[in-house]
Chain A
Amino acid sequence: AQTVTQSQPEMSVQEAETVTLSCTYDTSESDYYLFWYKQPPSRQMILVIRQEAYKQQNATENRFSVNFQKAAKSFSLKISDSQLGDAAMYFCAYRRGYGNKLVFGAGTILRVKS
């Protein structure tokens, strides 16, 4: 079974600074997708960024980028120029290439200080 581990229960960052959230995963599959979701207090999960395992290039979405290390099974999220609105719970998630369900990590609370 696939597992996703987020080892940082909580992180803090100063507004306008950069922060990196860690995620590791375990799978025997070669075809899969990785995701970072943001969950604000409203509870609605919002997709931040996704990475296809077959792509070597790291995904980027504006201030959000990932460092995907396939051999190490590591998938970290970097948030640049942090904003107060970035404060939320962040979840790393995995999905098999031909699967449908997401496997989530336990989450990291991100606090942004002004």
Chain B
Amino acid sequence: GAGVSQTPSNKVTEKGKYVELRCDPISGHTALYWYRQSLGQGPEFLIYFQGTGAADDSGLPNDRFFAVRPEGSVSTLKIQRTERGDSAVYLCASSATGTVNTEAFFGQGTRLTVV
């Protein structure tokens, strides 16, 4: 696609429910990143994929959070048993490779609200 696409744009869910957030990276980009941006804060790294594999998942806050990228393109961030503290904007970014000389392009994020 022309840019990084994230769906849904907004998601409201009840505490305790399961949610999936989708990221469709720029076509051909092998590296994909998820970040979480809480209100009034900068984005915080969650997980990085190189191809299909999670190369770095050190930012996932706990085992309720999980992400997959089965075919090396679209990625899904999954959150189980959501809590009110999970409310944030979830940003996805992709780059042509995972090397430092390539620019990461961001999507417009999914705003998750847990009520």
Contact = CB atoms under 8 A, between A and B. Distances in A.
Most B C-beta atoms less than 10 A away, residue of A33, A42, A44, A97 = A44
Contacts of B114: none
Interface string B77-115: 000000000000101010000101001101111010000
B100 A98 contact: yes
B95 to A, nearest CB: 8
B12 interface: no
A30 interface: no
Interface residues of A, number: 24
Interface in A14-53: 33, 42-47, 50
Interface of A is mostly: loop
B32 to A, nearest CB: 10
Query: Range of interface residues on chain B?
Result: 20 to 34
A45 B92 CA distance: 10
25 contacts: A4-B42, A43-B89, A44-B108, A44-B109, A45-B43, A45-B93, A47-B103, A47-B104, A91-B42, A96-B100, A98-B100, A100-B33, A100-B56, A100-B98, A101-B33, A101-B56, A102-B33, A102-B35, A102-B43, A103-B45, A104-B42, A106-B40, A106-B41, A107-B40, A107-B42
